[in-house]
Structure 1
Amino acid sequence: MTFVEFSPSGGLFQFSAQLAGGVAAGGDAVDFITGPDPELGPTHPGVRMRPVLPTWHPADEKPIGRLAKKARRVLRAGQRALAWLVVLALLRRSRPDVVVWSTWRFSMDALGAVAARRLLPRSTIVLVAHEPVPRVRADTTKERHGRVLDPALERAWHSVDAVFVLGEEARAKVHERWQVACPVVVIPHGDEAALRGDAPVPPCARTGPVVLFFGAWTAYKGIDLLFDAVPAVRHKVPDARIVVAGSVLGVDEAALTARARALGVHARPGYVATADVPRLFGEARVVVTPYRRATQSGVVHLAYTFARPVVATAVGDIPAAVRDGETGLLVPPDDPDALAAALVDLLTDADRAQSMGDAGAAWLEAEASWTAVARRVRETVDRVRGAR
Structure 2
Amino acid sequence: MRVLMHAPWPAEYVTELAAALAARENITRLCVIVRADFAYADAVGAALLARCYPAAHSERSRWQQLAGHLVALARSAACIWRERPDVFHVQALHRPILDWPLLLVARLRGASLIWTAHNSLPHENRSTDKALFRQIYRRVDAVIAHTRHTADTLIRQLDVSATRVHVIAHGPLSLSARPAPTRAAARASLGIDDSTFVLLLFGRLRPYKGLDMLVAALDRLADPNIQLIVAGEDMFGDAARDIKGRSDVMADLRRVDAEATARYFAAADLVVLPYRRIDQSGVLMLALTYQSAVLASCIGGLSEVIDNERTGFLLNPVDVDTLAARLTELKSRPDALETVRRNVAVEGDGERGWPRLAEYTAAVYCSAATQAGQRREPSADQ
Partner of 1:322: 306
C-alpha distance in 2 between matches for 1:376 and 1:362: 23
The range that moved more, 226-235 or 32-41, is: 226-235
1:124 to 105, 112, 130: 112
Q: Is the 8 A contact 2:228 2:249 kept in 1?
A: yes
Verify the 8 A CA contact 2:208 2:276 in the aligned structure 1. Answer: yes
Q: CA deviation at 1:185?
A: 0.9
Measured after TM superposition, the shift of residue 152 of structure 1 is 4.8
Describe the superposition over 1:169-208 as per-residue Cα deviations: whole angstroms up to 9, x where unpaired: 21122123432345111111110110214x1464799974
Quick one: distance in 1 between partners of 2:92 and 2:207?
19
* CA shift for structure 1 position 372: 2.2
1:106 counterpart = 2:96? yes
* 2:4 is the counterpart of 1:5: no
| Counterpart position of 1:379 | 363
- 8 Å CA contact 1:311–1:331 kept in 2: the answer is yes
For the 8 Å contact 1:329–1:342, the answer to whether it is kept is: no
Quote the residue 2:291 is aligned against: 307
1:187 aligns with 2:168: yes
Q: Does residue 85 of structure 1 match 2:67?
A: no
Q: Does structure 1 retain, via aligned residues, the 8 Å contact 2:296–2:313?
A: yes
| Cα pair distance change 1:134/1:268, threshold 3 Å | same
Q: d(CA) in 2 for partners of 1:72 and 1:13?
A: 24
Contact 2:17–2:354 (Cα < 8 Å) also in 1: yes
Change (3 A) 1:355 1:251: same
**1:67 corresponds to:** none
What is the deviation of 1:154? Answer: 4.0
The alignment status of 1:367 with 2:351, answered yes or no, reads yes
Map of 1:1-388 to 2, 5 A cutoff?
1-7=3-9, 12-27=10-25, 28=27, 29-50=29-50, 52-57=51-56, 60-61=57-58, 72-104=61-93, 105-118=95-108, 120-121=109-110, 123-135=111-123, 140=124, 143-146=125-128, 152-181=132-161, 183-197=164-178, 199-200=179-180, 202=182, 208=194, 209-235=197-223, 238-258=224-244, 261-388=245-372
The range that moved more, 156-165 or 104-113, is 104-113
Contact map agreement 1:307 1:361 (CA 8 A) in 2:
yes
Cα shift readout 1:131-181 (whole Å, capped 9, x = no counterpart): 21234xxxx3xx4133xx666544432221111111112112212343234
Q: 1:264, CA displacement in angstroms?
A: 2.2
Letter of the structure 2 residue corresponding to residue 107 of structure 1: I
- Give 1:21 shift: 1.6
Q: Distance in 1 between matches of 2:292 and 2:11?
A: 23
AA aligned opposite 2:158: W
Paired amino acid for 1:378 = A
- Three-state SS of the structure 1 residue aligned to 2:61 is helix
Deviation at 1:61, TM superposition (A): 4.0
- Alpha-carbon distance in structure 1 between the residues aligned to 2:119 and 2:238: 23
Q: Percent identity?
A: 24
Show structure 2 runs of 5+ residues with no match.
188-193, 373-382
**2:142, 2:165 within 8 Å by CA — same for their partners in 1?**
yes
Is the 1:308–1:358 contact (alpha carbons within 8 Å) kept by the matching residues of 2?
A: no
Task: Work out the CA distance in 2 between the residues paired with 1:150 and 1:329.
Answer: 32
Please give the root-mean-square deviation of Cα atoms over the aligned residues, in Å: 2.5
Query: 1:335-355: per-residue Cα shift (whole Å, max 9, x none)?
Result: 223223333444444442222
- Rounded to whole Å, the distance in 2 between the matches of 1:206 and 1:116 is 49
Q: Which has the larger radius of gyration?
A: 2
How far apart, CA to CA, are the structure 2 residues paired with 1:100 and 1:276?
Answer: 33
Q: How many residues align?
A: 358
Give distance in 2, aligned partners of 1:362 and 1:187: 22
* Secondary structure in 2 matching 1:53: strand
- Relative to 1, partners in 2 of residues 1:327 and 1:371: Cα closer, same or farther, differing over 3 Å? same
TM-score by length of 1: 0.84
Instruction: Give the TM-score normalised by structure 2.
Output: 0.85
